[in-house]
Structure 1
Amino acid sequence: MARTNPFQFIQQVRSEVAKVVWPTRREVLLTTVMVFIMATLTAIFFSLVDIVIKSGLNGILHMFG
């Protein structure tokens, strides 16, 4: 692996950072909202699955207990 001095390293870092395409404020806002929506939908889904499993197990236990 080639060794570079600190000055060359900083130059390389700056050139790589210049290539980054930063998201706009609108893109960040939209993706943040989508993450919150998907997290909410996932929480609702797993809550419903939990309720169904709990009801099924309670029904089986009451049937045999």
Structure 2
Amino acid sequence: MGRGRARAKQAKVARELKYSSSVTDFEALQRELADQSTAPREEFESTPEASGLRSADHSHREE
């Protein structure tokens, strides 16, 4: 109980986003995506979850 108001607000926001006819700045989006693609990703790739392995698989790992 108590999620009704929060859920209604989320539905309202989602509906506004779905049906809004805002103008998309594709050039700004392209710049933003280009900046993200040059960011170093090694911190994410080194985690067991990122490589598809479960944490249980690494429980015997020596450090």
**TM-score w.r.t. length of structure 1:** 0.31
**TM-score w.r.t. length of structure 2:** 0.31
Q: Structure 1 or 2: larger helix share?
A: 1
Higher Cα Rg, which structure: 1
- Larger RCO: 1 or 2 (CA < 8 Å, sep 6+): 2
